[in-house]
Amino acid sequence: MKAIMLAAGEGNRMRPLTYTRPKAMLPVANRPILEHLLIAASRAGISEFIIVTGYHDEQVRDYFGGGEKWGVSIEYATQRRQLGTADAIRMAWGLVDDSFLVMNGDVIVNQADISRLASRDATTMSVFRVKDTRDLGVVEVSADRVVRVHEKTARPPSSLANAGVYLFTPEIFDIIARTPKSPRGEYEITDSLQLMLDSGQAVAYYELGYWLDLSYPWDLLPANEALLAVIESENSGEIEDNVVVKGPVRIGQNTVVRSGSYLVGPVVIGADCEIGPNCYLRPGTAIGNGCHIGSAVEVKNSIIMSGSKIPHHNYVGDSVIGADCNLGAGTKIANLRLDKKDIMVGNINTRLRKLGAVIGDHVETGINVSINVGSMIGNNTHIGPGVVVSGIIAPESRLL
Amino acid sequence: MKQAVILAAGEGQRLRPFTATKPKVMLTIADKPILGYVIESLAKNGIRKIVLVVGYRKEQVFDYFGSGEQLGVEITYITQERQLGTAHALAQAKSAVEAEFLALPGDNLIEAATIARFANLKPNAVLVKRVDNPIRYGVVNIEKGTVKGIVEKPRETSNNVINTGIYALTREIFDFIEPELDIPDVLNKMLAQGRIIRASETDGTWLDIVYPWDILNLNDRVLRQITASLGGTIEAGVAVKGTVVVGKDTVIRSNSYIAGPVVIGSGCDIGPNVCIQSATSIGDNVVIAPFTQIKNSVIGDDVNLGPGCVIQDSVIDKGVVIQGNFTAFSSQTEVKVDDEYHQVTVGAMLGEGCRLSHGVVAHPGAIIGNYCQIQAMKQISGRLPDRSLVI
Amino acid sequence: MCGIVGYIGDKQAQPVLLDCLSLLEYRGYDSCGIAVSSRSIEVYKDAIRVAALKKAAPKLSGKIGIGHTRWATHGAPSQLNAHPHLDCTGRIAVVHNGIINNYQQLREQLIGEGHSFTSETDTEVIPHLIEKHYQGDIIKAVEAALAEIDGSYAIIVMVAGEPRLVAARKDSPMVIGIGDREKFIASDVPAILNFTNRVIYLEDGDIGVITADSVKVKQHQAEVTRTENKISWTIEDAQKSGYEHFMLKEIHEQPRVIRDTLAGWMSAPEPILDLEAVRDNGAEAMLMLACGTSYHAALVGKYIVQELLKIPVRAELASEFNYYGQALAGTMAIVLTQSGETADTLRAMKRLKEAGCRVVAITNVVGSTASRIADQTIYTRAGPEISVAATKSFIAQLMALYWIMLSYAKIDASRLSSLTAELRQLPSKVQEVLDNQDRIAECAKYLAGFKDVFFMGRGINYPVALEGALKLKEISYLHAEGYAAGELKHGPFALLGSKTPVVAIVAQDNTHEPIVTSIKEIKARHSPVLAVVPEGDDSVEELADSVIVVPQVEPLFSPVVNTVALQLLAYYTALQRGCPIDFPRNLAKSVTVE
């Protein structure tokens, strides 16, 4: 069985992180979301993949190539304009001739669920029971059939969210061809499914045991935590004397962890990093390749993307930091409001009590910059010494 | 409903000087024309096929909206050569409309929620609203949810339900238009011939803009809903409080104080030591020199404000150059428009391209026409026609 | 001079080719054609526009094809002269953009060897040469054929039954588009942007062998790698959005273009060029080089440099410079080309580089050939320009020149700050000119009744007179000439009379008096005078028959408002005369032949 993975979208709500990469390439536990999905699917026995790319497609192609590294074969189809999920699937028309899986490239599911879904023989959509259906499409079911597919709605008729993972037969391409544009001006696969239901065709559903949906940048942090929870220790780098390592910690090639560092897993560190001396890495931290975490730096529950430097006297908690950033000595990120209320980012209530900052690529800060909770800093922004940053900062800004 | 016809051809005589060089729908609020807010509200309700009936200075509409890609809609333009009335404007769009469509004015501030329910109603229907001052509008008489008649600008009325000018229609209306010129007249004719028109009431935002100072009311309303975002270069020692938007490539220099809600466009050069207070919108490519204070005002593109100006409750249109020490202070005053007197609290209204030398004082309610030139130390009150020279 | 396109992949070639060709029409549109290969090659071509060909052409079946849209150089527009051209066997088809200098000699030689020709074009020698050298290996045959050719070319060769296309370029532009299981070849990127945004630029002397799945490039028979580029812009801008013509749309975009340029200036306040070197080198200081409308921008640039930098500067036509111009090491050359592909300009740039000059290009197209030759490139922020008559790209070039020169101005600080403040007002001033279009349209109605029009200006507005005349002649087909006002008495006076109107640009600088005098002299010869006058200047009100009032600006910036007024004058004159404004006869958007 083949699997089509949809990785063409930008994911507006993930800006500024998606200005320079497609949503499916956002790193969680040091791997793109799409790779987690690919690994889960290949463990479930799927060996042939079609990745539909679009926005920044070269990154997907460069990273996954022909799939040799994972022992699978990958073909690509390009969706030139972002005209919705149904249109994306249509790009793979002619590349599949049997029933096949379709997976949104920006969700996280596990191997067991994929195996079970793959063993179905008729059109099936997977669903996941959620507490909060805000920002999600929901599915109304009766017995083992789907009755109705709803877009995001204020009064959801069920708590089953559409998980964005499907089993289709090639007939779906005929239905896609008949699918009209949605009010958003796109061709949605949910409309195709509704079209099937309207014409009396059966659509089954499968309830996933595990599912993570990533809509906003801060959703990456719980996903990161969940995926780090299952790692095992591995050291491909060098650990100097007098380093304390507790819990599972993975260290990549050519990475050096210098004396006096205190690492509490789960923590994952990429290749070619310089860690310490005398830094404190706390659970839930993922550090990409070529990063530098220097002395007297504390990092917890955060994603630090490749090439970023956090070299002296910094605190980074519950934050996402893009690639190639440099925090000046003493730059610190707050992660808890004094009144302990939910943290707002712009006008959005994150419903989180702890959240630091979301920082795009190539952001540089001067010494002793203070970054307030819930700050969102655009790419290529420069922040001068001693500045207090709050709120949303557009890309290419200068705060002096 | 998938399609909307927006009437965007009008000039808006009573809004002069601000409409002498642009159509009414292109009046800019918080760095965006009113028509932009209307189209966004439609798009949010899934209405993405837009027919724009344009006329007066239509090029400015073309320049800003293009084919609609920016807003995610498809725009078809229809030209109304002479602005004869709303029904006449609608009739021009006959060839472009589908079986059912929404018709609405492009110069009212309408929020997405205001039309959310209405957009799903079956035609024919009129969106109505209760207001305090109904005699400015068309009053709608309703019985059991259906319209019995629309009375334009009644002398007196006990009914405060008015017509918002937003209609859900079918192509059938085209059979009734000739020889009427305005949509309410056409609807009354349809009622007389036994057609049923439903009324749907909204309590959402619907703001009309009739007089120049209405721009300030709309500005205030729009600025309450913005999301803060800082861009450009913000130098050390700038205080930013409340909700503030600063556009790309703008520089805010040291010791400036900005208390939101404030929107500043792109490519501006502001400060040092400038004070901008709520609720103020500033356009693109604006220069504001030191020690100038602006409060509750709207400043257009390309404006250059010299040092030491005090500007309150005022509207300054694009391309105005003020050399310095200009004062436009606000208080309650009587302003005459079309032989009617209006009690308002307002500063000055300056048309585009005016050039003011040093030390000009504008009295509350002063309306200065486009391209006026005013020499140093002059005091201005009342209304100055376009291209006046004050020496 | 033409647009070429090729396709190989898993789709039917014909619709793809026609789609691409319609986007290449700005390069030429007097005839067009396509050839599609399956086991044999089928050709359909005619002296018609692409839209007409789309309707007229029968369905040609095949997934490999080439196409061409032509701007005649050798041989009139006709069905026979249209591309693609075939060899004697009908198995080799070629499309070509460029000029073959030795085609006469090759043609005679090939006829002598028994080849028979069907067209008058230079191109047709190519398929016959390939046929002559073909011994089973098409790549070797193309290499051998090209070795005999002297000239410029971008060609695509297709052989019946072969699952590949061969492309080669020298001094003419060409890109290869990369799709999944399909490849595209075209003269420029926008033509294929509907299908892919991954492209490979071929360099001069490259021969590319393109199959559905691969692109192999050879240079001097050795395989080379050409990196894939990703194009980030879209083609959505290229729509008329309400306007009747692209030209009017683009004229109206100018306030925005100016504002964008100014905003870019705000975010990059550091000087962008190293002009220090020029200041130290007094003798041969600065050279401005361009063709057509860009040359007029260069002439304005000359005045700007003299006024602000006070260093020696000359402006030259690239086409002339290529024959007689001297390139001296140490000169800073500023080269202006909207498309970045103008053949004369590119050739001049290469000469300047060889002579050791520092070359700065001002162009509107990112990644264009000019930007790849230049030491440094400054991109104008005009956006895509579709209309053949350049408007907003000219204004954007002027803005770039003001920007560069004000950064280095050797003038006192208070004048500099007042100039900078004035510059910021330009978007509104230009909008004022646009808002006055009804009045300008009236003047155009009057002008449309004549056959010959003179434009005159002085000083920094002399190039504006040239530009005004160029705009008028290229779109309205009226005979128009631009003159420096002082030169009218040296000849043109003989032509003046009641049937030769003169458009006079009145500036408020030291040329004001002499211009008024010239107008008096012209009136004495009974010529109608249409004066473009700054607001508040009533000195010619009595003299001129008609007046277009433009807003008052600093004289240094007056070319901006005056040009916009003359653009509108040309537009409305052409409209009045019923001319096809966006696609004037015999003209093409970017001239990639010398």
Domain containing B272 equals: 227-390
Q: How far apart are CA C294 and CA C393, in angstroms?
A: 9
Residue of C nearest to B52 (CA): C242
What pLDDT, on the 0 to 100 scale, is given for residue B314?
96
Work out the number of other CB atoms within 10 angstroms of the CB of residue C403: 18
Same domain as A260, residue A193: no
Count of domains observed in chain B? 2
Sequence-distant (≥ 6) Cβ neighbours of residue B315 within 8 angstroms? B18, B212, B213, B215, B216, B297, B298, B348, B349, B350
**What is the reported pLDDT for C236?**
45
Read off the pLDDT of residues C17-34 as tens digits, 9 standing for 90 and up: 998 898 887 677 778 999
Pairing of strands B315-316, A285-287: unpaired
**pLDDT tens, N- to C-terminus, chain B (391 residues):** 789 999 998 777 788 888 888 899 999 888 899 999 999 999 888 888 899 999 888 999 998 998 887 787 888 899 998 888 899 999 999 888 888 999 999 999 998 889 988 988 888 899 999 988 888 888 999 888 888 889 888 888 788 899 999 999 999 999 888 888 889 999 899 988 889 999 999 988 888 888 899 999 999 999 998 889 999 999 999 999 999 999 988 999 999 999 989 999 999 999 899 999 989 999 999 999 999 999 999 999 999 999 999 999 999 999 999 999 999 999 999 988 878 888 999 999 999 999 999 999 999 999 999 999 999 999 999 999 999 999 8
Of C95, C172, C120, C101, the residue nearest C593 (C-alpha): C172
Nearest chain C Cα distance for residue A46, angstroms: 23
Task: Give me the phi and psi of B235, to 5 degrees please.
Answer: -75, 170
Statement to judge: residues A282 and A184 lie in one domain: no
Interface residues from chain B to C (CB-CB < 8 Å) = 21, 54, 57-59, 61-63, 65-67, 69, 75, 77, 232-233, 248-251, 266-269, 284-285, 287, 301-302, 304, 318-319, 321, 352-353
Q: Do domains C2-230 and C236-411 have the same CATH topology?
A: no
Q: Does residue A294 form part of some domain?
A: yes
Q: Looking at the structure, tell me whether residues A260 and A190 fall in a common domain.
A: no
Q: How many residues does chain B have?
A: 391
Q: Are residues A43 and A106 in the same domain?
A: yes
Structural domain of A387: 225-399
Spatial distance between the Cα atoms of C504 and C491, rounded to a whole number of angstroms:
17
B288 with B306: CB under 8 angstroms?
A: no
Q: Is C291 a catalytic residue?
A: no
Residue A322 and residue A262 share a domain: yes
CATH number, domain at B374? Answer: 2.160.10.10
Flag if B233 and A183 touch (Cβ within 8 Å): no
**B130 and B79 in one domain?**
yes
- The answer to whether A80 contacts C180, with C-beta atoms less than 8 Å apart, is no
* Residue B43 included in any domain: yes
pLDDT (tens digit, 9 = 90+) per residue, C298-348? 999 999 998 888 888 889 999 888 887 677 777 788 999 988 888 889 999
Between strands A138-142 and A145-150, the pairing is: antiparallel
pLDDT in tens, chain A (400 residues): 999 999 988 888 999 999 999 999 999 999 999 999 999 999 999 999 999 988 888 889 889 988 999 999 998 888 877 788 999 998 888 888 889 999 999 999 999 999 999 999 899 999 999 888 877 889 998 888 999 988 777 777 888 999 999 999 999 998 998 888 887 778 899 999 999 999 999 999 999 999 998 989 999 999 999 999 999 999 999 999 999 999 999 999 999 999 999 999 899 999 999 998 999 999 999 999 999 999 999 999 999 999 999 999 999 999 999 999 999 999 999 999 999 999 999 888 998 999 999 999 999 999 999 999 999 999 999 999 999 999 999 998 999 8
Check pLDDT > 70 for residue C592: no
Q: Are residues A290 and A146 in the same domain?
A: no
Single residue among A215, A248, A266 that ends a domain in this structure: A215
Range among A77-86, B360-369, C101-110, C231-240 with highest mean pLDDT value: B360-369
CB contact under 8 A, A80 and C230: no
CA atoms of B382 and C461, how far apart (whole Å): 41
Residue C579 has pLDDT above 70, yes or no: yes
Provide the pLDDT for residue A93.
83
CATH number for position B51:
3.90.550.10
Rounded distance between C-alpha atoms, residue C85 and residue C70, angstroms: 12
CA distance B68 to B73: 5
Whether C284 shows a pLDDT value over 60: the answer reads: no
User: SS in 3 state form for chain A?
Assistant: CEEEEEECCCCHHHCCHHHCCCHHHCEECCEEHHHHHHHHHHHCCCCEEEEEEECEHHHHHHHHCCCHHHCCEEEEEECCCCCCHHHHHHCCCCCCCCCEEEEECCEECCHHHHHHHHCCCCCEEEEEECCCCCCCCEEEEECCEEEEEECCCCCCCCCEEEEEEEEECCCHHHHHHHCCCCCCCCCCHHHHHHHHHHCCCCCEEEECCCCEECCCHHHHHHHHHHHHCCCCCEECCEECCCCEEECCEEECCCCEECCCCEEECCEEECCCCEECCCCEECCCEEECCCCEEEECCEEECCEECCCCEEEECCEEECCEECCCCECCCCCEECCECCCCCCCEECCEECCCCECCEEECCCCEECCCCEECCCEEECCCCEECCCCEECCEECCCCEEC
Whether the CB of B232 is below 8 Å from some CB of chain A: the reply is: yes
- Tens of pLDDT, residue by residue over C269-282, are 555 666 665 555 54
Residue of C170, C392, C429, C589 with catalytic role? C589
For chain C, give the number of residues.
594
SS3 B146: strand
Quote the distance between the C-alpha of residue B4 and its chain's center: 19
Q: The domain C434-581: what is its CATH number?
A: 3.40.50.10490
Q: Whole-angstrom Cα distance, residue A312 to residue A297?
A: 6
Q: Which residues of B touch C266 (CB under 8 A)?
A: 232, 249-251, 267-269
Burial (CB count <10 Å: 0-12, 13-18, 19+), residue B339: exposed
For residue C391, the number of C-alpha atoms closer than 13 Å in the C-beta half-sphere is 34
Closest Cα partner for B9 from B112, B87, B101? Answer: B87
- Domain assignment present for B222: no
Where in chain C are the domains?
2-230, 236-411, 434-581
Is C259 within 8 Å of B233 when comparing Cβ atoms? no
d(CA A213, CA A220): 9
Distances in Å between the Cα of C211 and the Cα atoms of A58, A78, A182, C60, C180 are: 21, 18, 38, 20, 12
C230 catalytic per annotation: no
pLDDT computed for residue C275 by the predictor: 64
- CATH code of residue A208: 3.90.550.10
- Token pair listed for C589: 């958007």
> Domain boundary residue among A183, A215, A247?
A215
Q: What is the ipTM of this complex?
A: 0.82
The pLDDT value given to residue C278: 58
How many Å lie between the alpha carbon of C69 and the closest alpha carbon of chain A? 26
Strand partners, C103: none
Q: Please tell me whether residue B173 adopts helix, strand or coil conformation.
A: helix
In CATH terms, the fold of domain C2-230 is Glutamine Phosphoribosylpyrophosphate, subunit 1, domain 1 (3.60.20)
Q: Among A182, A215, A248, identify where a domain stops.
A: A215
Q: Which residues of A touch B (CB under 8 A)?
A: 182-185, 346-347, 378, 384, 386-387, 391-400
Cα dist from B21 to B316, B318, C105, C428, C444, whole Å: 14, 11, 64, 11, 22
Dist. CA C79–CA A38, nearest whole Å? 56
Looking at the structure, tell me whether residues B201 and B250 fall in a common domain.
Answer: no
Pairing state between β C215-219 and C222-224: antiparallel
Residue A39 CA to residue A72 CA, distance in Å, equals 10
Distance of CA C520 to the CA centre of its chain: 38
Closest chain C C-alpha to A172 CA, distance in angstroms:
22
Closest Cβ–Cβ partner in B229, B234, B248 for A399: B234
Query: Given this model, what pLDDT does residue C273 score?
Result: 67
Same-domain check for residues A67 and A188: yes
- The pLDDT-based confidence of C238 (bands split at 50, 70, 90) is very low
pTM over 0.90: no
Indicate the fold that domain C236-411 takes in CATH: Rossmann fold (3.40.50)
Are A211 and A304 contained in the same domain? no
The dihedrals phi and psi of B211, each to the nearest 5 degrees, come to: -115, 160
**A186 token code pair:** 């796109």
Task: Please indicate, yes or no, whether residues B141 and B240 belong to a single structural domain of this protein.
Answer: no
Q: B106 and B252 share a domain?
A: no
Share of chain C above pLDDT 90, in %: 42
Distance between CA atoms of residues B24 and B11, nearest Å: 5
A333 and A384 in a common domain: yes
> Domain check: are B8 and B56 in the same one?
yes
| Closest residue on chain C to B69 (Cα) | C236
Active site residues of A: 312
Q: Which residue type, as a one-letter code, is found at position A298?
A: E
Residue A220 lies in a domain: no
Q: Give yes or no for a contact between B136 and B156, defined as CB atoms under 8 angstroms apart.
A: no
Of C57-71, C423-437, C575-589, the range with the lowest mean pLDDT is C575-589
- Do C242 and B267 count as a contact with CB atoms less than 8 A apart? no
Q: How far apart are CA C239 and CA B18, in angstroms?
A: 30
Any idea how long chain A is? 400
From the CA of C11, how many Å to the nearest CA of chain A? 12
What is the chain A residue with the closest CA to C236? A81
Q: Is C542 exposed, middle or buried, given 0-12, 13-18 or 19+ CB atoms closer than 10 A?
A: exposed
